[in-house]
Structure formats: C-alpha cells, structure tokens
Amino acid sequence: MRTDDIKQLQELPMFSGMSPENLGRLFDAALLQKFPAGVVLIHENTQADFLHVLIDGLAEIYTEQDGGEWGISLVNPVSAFIPAAIISHQPYLSSARTLLESRVLLIPAERVREVFAQDIVFARVIAKELARAYRGSVKKLKGYMARSSVERLANWILAEAQKDTHQGNVVIPFDRGTLASHIGTTRENLSRNLAYLTDHGVRIRGREIVIDDKNQLTLFARPQRLIDDPAS
C-alpha cells in the first residue's frame, strides 16, 4: 500500500489504538483496492480468506436460496464484512458484493487471527464489530416478525431520511430489486407498497422518495428504538 493510504488507515477508529508493531503486521500483508459496483467480494460457503473492511462506498450481505437472492444487511463505511467467519475459521454463511464504487481493505485471515490473539485493542474492535452485526441481525428479525413489508419500507425511508436531515427526501441508492430484497419482499410488491405510501405522506419520483409529511409517515410506520435506532 502507498504511504498516504497507510497513514489514512492508521487514523481510522478501527485501528487508531493499536500498537505500531501489530498495526504494521496487519498492514504489511493487506491490500487496499477499489471495486466498481456489482463486484462479488465474498461467496457463500467458501472458506474465509480475508477480513474485508469497507473504507468508502456501500456493500450488501446477501444469500442465494432456491434461485433467488435475499438481502441480509447493508454495509456502510467504516465496518468489516462478516468477521465471525474469520475469527471462527469457518466458511462464509453468506455472500457480499459492492452496491456502489467502493474501497475495501483486505487483510489475510490468518494474520487477523494472529493479531486478534495478541492485541487487546484490536480484539475489542473485532468484538464490537461482532456485537454490531449480531444486534443488527436481531433488529432485522424483529422487524420481519412484527411488521408488514409496507411498514418495513416506511421505516427504511425514515431511517434513510435521518441520515441527511438537510436533504429531507430520500434517493434510493440502488435498484428497486435490491431494496425489495433487503426489506423482505418482491419487486412487484415493493411497487405496490410505494404506491400505498403515497396516502401516508410521500411522493415517488423515479428513485427519489419525496417526504411531504414526515409526521404522517411516522404515524404510519411507528418506529421503535430497539429496532430502528442505529445507536441502540
């Protein structure tokens, strides 16, 4: 890696507290690569060979079942892809690919396990990543169990709007099929759900969702802190 890249990575919260020696051991075997959208980085049921850390861009974790694809989670920077497979030395339970042009740090799995066993700061970082992934999975499961697909869509819109409070409206950053997959429905049903929400404070303009009445949308969605709050 270039010196400028290493300096930038050293300043990330994921690595900033590590000892220089162990940080060097991670980075001397690592690759920092840029990938276009749509590149599969991890294949389900293959042996975990790298820890993938998303530095910039957007990625998704998904599974292929019976000829179809289902979204598991969306990965935003800066965070690791499926660290459980690396630490447990097990095959990946799901696949991962880029949704936007992304920069990804790839650290060989064996080197990750070595430093994990020796550097308590890095071990805490990985533990936090594992906890974040677990809590995200539980929240998504609760949403599937307690909500209809249109309610999940409404809460997704509110969560996206919250990321940029100045913009107000939401632009779907990927195709509708991907959105449908990640809220647990079909593309056709997603279109019906979007049309349904026009009676609850939103308008649809292509990939843009215009929120005309946030209070009305919130009243319909009924967001819950222990499902929808990313800090919970």
pLDDT digits (tens, 9 = 90+) for 96-138: 999 999 999 999 999 999 999 999 999 999 999 999 999 999 9
In a domain, 80, yes or no: yes
| Residues 25, 86 share a domain | yes
Q: What is the pLDDT, as a whole number, of residue 13?
A: 85
Q: Residue 191: give its domain's CATH number.
A: 1.10.10.10
Stretch 209-214: mean pLDDT: 93
Stretch 53-62: mean pLDDT: 96
From residue 222, alpha-carbon distances to 118, 218, 227 in Å are 45, 6, 11
Which burial class, exposed, middle or buried, applies to 205 when counting CB atoms under 10 A from its CB (0-12, 13-18, 19+)? exposed
What digits encode the pLDDT tens for the residues 179-206?
999 999 999 999 999 999 999 999 999 8
| Residues 117, 17 share a domain | yes
| Residues 92, 20 share a domain | yes
User: What is the tally of structural domains in the chain?
Assistant: 2
Residue 113 · residue 87 · CB < 8 Å = yes
Question: By three-state DSSP, how is residue 77 classified?
Answer: coil
Q: Where are the extended beta strands (E) located within the chain? A: 31-35, 40-42, 50-56, 59-65, 68-75, 79-81, 95-98, 102-108, 170-171, 202-205, 208-211
Mean of per-residue pLDDT scores for the chain: 92
| Residues 207, 103 share a domain | no
Query: Looking at the predicted structure, is the pLDDT value of residue 6 above 90?
Result: no
| Residues 162, 119 share a domain | no
In a domain, 142, yes or no: no
In a domain, 138, yes or no: no
- 212: containing domain: 147-228
Q: What is the pLDDT, as a whole number, of residue 166?
A: 63
| Residues 56, 27 share a domain | yes
The reply to whether the predicted model has a pTM over 0.85 is: yes
Q: Residue 51: give its domain's CATH number.
A: 2.60.120.10
